[in-house]
Amino acid sequence: MLKITNLSASIGDKQILNNVNIELAEGRCLLVTGQNGAGKSTLLHAIMGRPDIAITGNIDLDSVELHNMDCHERARSGVFLAHQAPPTIDGVNTMTLFKEVQKAQNLDITTGNLIKQVKDLSEQFGLPDDWSKRAFNSGASGGERKKGELMQAEVLSKKTKLLLLDEPDSGLEQSSRQKIVELIENTCNSGGSVMLVTHDKELQAKYNDNKLDLNNA
């Protein structure tokens, strides 16, 4: 279970979050809402451990104190953040990145099956044939970057204890948005939890039964 107690967060001299409290059970999805500037993305990045965000308070995942860990340690503890604007990594092709993830997370899959899974997911998302051979996100559109990140989350879904989705629908065509729902369900069915930031009305309606409104937090 994720338990956040009295979390405040600031970037530089600007305080963005003030005493946020969350309890999120395994197998549940929490919809995070609020006006622009309310701190939705900051909340997800604070949980992930972005270095430039100063926090006070506690972030515990299955009784592990995430707030005392560096970002990479949180990732290895089962936290995955799908960025609002996924980065480019020059000089590292996509398949090499997936292989490094396989090692770091000790995935229970052979390299051959991993290669097949990545290629199958690329086809399902309608990504270019050479996607796995490209430098990570090199020359990719916004929608392609989102699809690539959703692929990573899908590969890691059985290992993910907490999936943080920051506007995963941005730039995606409607047919691909069903993949977001499938990813959320796969993660929850594997015993993980999800925090979702989205402006998509259909996704908001689907997960509206468990909601955190940062305007009133």
Q: Single out the residue of 153, 145, 147 nearest to residue 192, CA to CA.
A: 153
Its pTM stands at 0.91
Classify burial at 19, counting beta carbons within 10 Å of its beta carbon; exposed 0-12, middle 13-18, buried 19 or more: exposed
Domain ranges in the chain are 2-213
Average pLDDT over the chain, rounded to whole?
A: 91
Classify burial at 3, counting beta carbons within 10 Å of its beta carbon; exposed 0-12, middle 13-18, buried 19 or more: middle
Q: pLDDT category, 43, cuts 50, 70, 90?
A: very high
Distance CA 115, CA 122 (A): 11
Q: Class of 2-213 per CATH? A: alpha beta
Asked if pLDDT for residue 81 goes beyond 70, the answer is: yes
Distance CA 28, CA 197 (A): 14
Asked if pLDDT for residue 40 goes beyond 90, the answer is: yes
Residues 112-158 pLDDT 10s: 999 899 999 888 888 888 888 888 888 888 888 888 888 888 888 87
